[in-house]
Structure 1
Amino acid sequence: MNVIDPGAAPSGPTATPGMTTCTAADDEAARRWRLVLGRYAADELSVGQQDQGLERSLSYLYDREYTARGHRTGGGDRAGGGSGRSAGLGGSQPHGVDVTALGWLSEAGSLFPRETFERMQVDAVSRYGLTELLQDDTAIESLEPSRELAVAMLQVRGSLNDRAAAGLRRVIQRVVDDIVRRLRPRFATAVNGRIDRSRRSMHRVARNFDWKRTLRANLGRVDADGRMTVQDVRFSARAKRTLTWDVILLVDQSGSMAPSLLYSAVCAGILSGLPGVNVQLYLFDTSVVDMTHVADDPVTVLMTAQLGGGTDIARAVRYAEQQVRNPSRTVVALVSDFYEGGSVSNLLAGVRRMASSGVTMLGLAALDEAAEPAYDHGTARLLAECGMEVAALTPERFAEWLGEVLT
C-alpha cells in the first residue's frame, strides 16, 4: 500500500490517477479544518483568498469561545521568535472591514447558507451575548427570523436592557406572525366543525370534497379499461357547533419549556379568535399566572413569561379544576415535560377527579429544540391511566387533535 503525503504532489513512477484524486480530497479537507480550527492552525494551514470572508466571520463569533476559556486574544510573537506570527486570537480586522455586530451580521448573512446563518444567529445571542444586535434597527431587519432564534432570545430576555428588549419584541413579533400564518388555517379547518357526510354541501371547495361518495356516484361510468369518467362530484357539509367550549391551557414555563411555550402562546392566540371557543391561558412553574386577558396576543404572553424555576404541575391542575364551569364542555390541555417537582399523587388525583366529572383531559408532551419529544415517560403513563390522553404532537397535529375533541 502506498503512503501518500497530502502536501506533496505525486511525481515519478509512483504517481497514479487515484493519488491525484486523493490529494484533491485532502486539499478540501485541509481547507475545512483551517476554517474549523481558525488561527490556531495558521502555521500549518493557510487560508485561501476565497475563504477570507468565511474565516473573518467565523473568527468574530467563535473566538469568543476561546476567550471564555482563558486563551489570549491579543497579538505578540511566538515564544522563541521565528516567524513573528501571533499565537493569540486577536480579531481578524482587514482595513476597511466593519467588525461590529452589525457588520458581522451583514457579512455572515451573505456568505453562509440560510440554515447555517440561522444557527450562527442563535449562537450569537444564546452563547456569546451579542445582544447589541437587538439595539440596532438595521440589525433587527437583517436577522433571519426563526423558531430557534426566538427561543434563544426568550431564554436571555431577563438580562436585556430596555432598548434590547424592545428589539427582541420586534423579532418575536416577526417569528409569531410567520407561525400564525402557517397554523391559523389548520386550526380554523380543524376546529370550526367536523365533516357531516349526511348532507351535501353548497360550498364546493377542496376541504369539503367527499371522495367516497364521489366514487360511488360515478361507478356506472367506468369503461372497459377501468377508467372512470367523473361527472357527479360530491361535497360534504360541515356541522356547525352551537355550544361554546371552554379550553383551559396549562403551560409549563420551567426553563426547559421555551420551544413549547412559543407554540403554546401562538395556539392560544389563534384559538382565541375562533368562534365558539372560550380560551383560558395559565402559565405555571411553582406558581400559576393567569394570562387569559392577553391570550389573544402571543407576543405579550411571551414577553411576560418568566422562563426558569421549578415545576409544580399538581398546583396548576388544581387551579384549572377550580375554573371548570361545565365539565362536559371543557377541555383542559396540559403542556409540560411532566417532570413533577411537586406531589405526583396530588397531580394524579386532580386529573382523575376532572376526568371522572366529564372534563376532556389532554396532555401535550414537550418537544425540544429539534421538535423531538422530551418528557418524563413514567409520569405521562400514570397520567394516561388516570384518564388523560397524552401525546407528543407538532402544533399542526394538535390542531387536528383538538378539532376531533371539539366537534
Structure 2
Amino acid sequence: MTGTGSTTAGPPSHGVPDQEAARRWRLVLGRYAAERLDVPAGDQRLESTLGYLYDREYTARGHAAGRREAGRRGGGGSGGAGLEGSAPHGVDFSALGWLGEARSLFPRETFERMQVEAVGRYGLTELLGDRGTVEAMEPSRELATALLQLRGKLDPSVADGVRRVIERVVEDVVRRLRSRFLTAVGGRVDRSRRSMHRVARNFDWKRTLRANLGRVDGDGRMLVQDVRFNARQKRALTWDVVVLVDQSGSMAASLLYSAVCAGILSGLPGIDVRLVLFDTNVVDMSHLAHDPVSVLLTAQLGGGTDIARAVRFAEGQVRDPSRTVVALVSDFYEGGSVSELLAAVRRLRASGVTLLGLAALDETADPVYDQGTARRLAEAGMEVAALTPERFAEWLGEVLA
C-alpha cells in the first residue's frame, strides 16, 4: 500500500512467506501472470509441465497464446510483448514426454489426478496409444472410471490401451478385496472348532470370556491372554446372488466395484452369481461375471434408467427365495414407474428374498441419490445403504452365514 492509497500488483518483496505465496500463485496462474510474477529458476520444469496441461484451460476459454487483447493495459496497443507459449523455457513436450516429466516431479496422488484430467478433461488420449506409456501410467479408480465414461468417444486405435489400463486397475482392486470376501463370505461359522483365522468376524466373545475367567483381578478387570475365534465351514447349499447395476453416468465408480465384487463372488463355492446391467434396457452379463474387465468394456454408461424393469427381471431369476439375495446398485433416480418398482420389491420381500439397495458401492460410499425413492424402497422391505466393497462383503457374510 503506497502513501496515496493505491495498491501494487506485483509480488510482495518482504519476507519468506510472501515470496512463497508469490511462487505458488505463479504456478497456479501460469504464463498469464508472466508480466507480474517471475518464475523462480528452480520452478521452470514445474512451470513447463503444469503449463503443457493446464494452459489448455485458457485456450478452451478463448485466450490466445502469444498476444494480448487489443486495448488492454495502456490504451489500445495492437500487440506489444506477447504472452509466452505453453512450454516457456524451451521444453518441447510430446504427450508421452510430459507423462514422464509429471511422474518425476509430482507426488503420486497429484500425478494420478493429472493423468485423469489429461485424458478425461483435456483429451490427451494419445497417452493410451503406446504400450510402454500405458504401463508407465499409475492405475487408479479415477482413471478407470474416466475411461469408462469416455470409452464410446475414443478412437479405436487406443482400445488396447484402454483395456490395459482397466485390466491393471481391476487387478489392483481384486488383489485388495479378494481376501476380504474369502474371509467374510467363504463359509458359515462352525462354533465347534477354533479358527486359525484371527479376524474380527470370527471373534468368539463367549469362549474368550470363559477361557479368561481365572484372570480377573481384585477390581474386577480381566486380563485377556487367550482370545478365541470360530472356524468357518463350506456351505452345503447354494445361494443365488443377483447383482443389478445401474449404467447411468454417475454410477461409473459403483459399476467398476460391482463388476469386481461379482467376479470375486463367482469364484467362491456355494454362490451362483447373476450379474445384470441396466438402463432402460436390461442386459444379463452373468456369462461374463467371472471376467470384470470384459464386463466393464461391454458396459454402456449413460442414457435413461428403468429400475422397475430390472427388478422385474430379477424376479424371474429367483429359484429359492429363502436362499436368494438381490443387490440393486443404483442412484434410485427412476425414469420408469416408481409404483411398479415398489410393487416388485414388495413381492420379492414377501416371497422371502433378501433385498439390498446400494446408493453407492465404492471406496468413498458418499452417494448422490434420490432420497425420496430410497426411503420408499426401505419402507417396501429393501435394506438401503451406501457401502464400501469391504462392508458389502461383511453384509453378505452376515446374510449367507
Is the TM value for this pair above 0.5? yes
Q: Which residue of the partner structure matches residue 30 of structure 2?
A: 38
Query: Is the Cα contact below 8 Å between 1:77 and 1:85 reproduced in 2?
Result: no
Contact 2:181 2:265 in 1 (8 A): yes
Q: 1:351 touches 1:383 (CA, 8 Å); kept in 2?
A: yes
**Structure 1 residues 356-375: aligned runs within 5 Å:** 356-366=350-360, 371-375=365-369
Instruction: Give the letter aligned to residue 55 of structure 1.
Output: E
Contact 2:12–2:18 at 8 Å: present in 1 too? no
Instruction: Tell me the amino acid that sits aligned with residue 331 of structure 1.
Output: V
Opposite residue 64 of structure 1, the aligned amino acid is R
Matched, 1:298 2:292: yes
| Among candidates 321, 331, 339, match of residue 345 of structure 1 | 339
* Kept after mapping to 1: 8 A contact 2:322/2:352: yes
**Helix, strand or coil at the partner of 1:156:** helix
1:252-308 Cα offsets, whole Å, 9 max, x none, are 001111011000000000000000000001100000011000000000000000001
Cα shift at 1:323? 1.4
* 1:53 paired residue number: 45
Alpha-carbon distance in 2 for matches of 1:82, 1:254: 50
Query: Any conservation in 2 of the 1:122–1:149 contact (CA below 8 Å)?
Result: yes
- Is 2:121 aligned against 1:138? no
Q: Deviations over 1:221-272 (max 9, x none)?
A: 4466988677755342224321100111100001111011000000000000
Contact 1:194 1:239 in 2 (8 A): yes
Change (3 A) 1:391 1:127: same
Establish whether residue 328 from structure 1 lines up as the match of residue 302 from structure 2. no
Matched position secondary structure for 2:58: helix
Give the conservation status (yes or no) of the 8 Å contact 1:281–1:295: yes
- Residue 54 of structure 2, aligned match among 49, 62, 67: 62
Unaligned ranges ≥5, structure 1 = 10-19
Q: How far apart, CA to CA, are the structure 2 residues paired with 1:8 and 1:330? A: 68
CA shift in 2, pair 1:325/1:369, >3 Å: closer
List aligned pairs for 1:43-192, cutoff 5 A.
43-74=35-66, 85-87=81-83, 90-92=85-87, 94-95=89-90, 97-192=91-186
State the alpha-carbon separation in 2 of the partners of residues 139 and 250 from structure 1: 35
How far has the Cα of 1:83 moved from its partner? Answer: 10
Is contact 1:368–1:374 with CA below 8 Å preserved after alignment?
no
Q: Rate the CA distance shift 1:7–1:94 in 2: closer, same or farther, 3 A.
A: closer
Percent identity, please.
71
Coordinate RMSD, CA, aligned: 2.6
Q: Distance in 2 between matches of 1:354 and 1:272?
A: 23
Q: CA-to-partner distance for each residue in 1:360-393, whole Å, 9 max, x for gaps?
A: 1111113689541211110000001111111111
Of 244-253 and 78-87, deviating more is 78-87
Q: Structure 1 residues 211 and 85 mapped into 2: Cα distance closer, same or farther (>3 Å)? A: farther
Q: 1:232 to 1:86 in 2, by over 3 A?
A: closer
- What secondary structure, in the 3-state scheme, does the structure 2 residue paired with 1:323 have? coil
Residue of 226, 230, 236 corresponding to 1:236: 230
TM-score, normalised via structure 1 length: 0.89
The residue number in structure 2 matching 1:13 is none
Are the aligned partners of 1:93 and 1:99 in contact in 2 as well (CA < 8 Å)?
Answer: no
What's the CA shift for 1:85? 3.1
C-alpha separation between the residues in 2 aligned to 1:233 and 1:321?
44
Amino acid at match of 1:142: A
Higher mean Cα deviation, 373-382 or 210-219? 210-219
Q: Describe the shift of the 1:362–1:190 C-alpha distance in structure 2 as closer, same or farther (beyond 3 A).
A: same
CA contact (8 A) 2:197 2:231 kept: no
Matched residues, number: 391
TM superposition score normalised by structure 2: 0.90
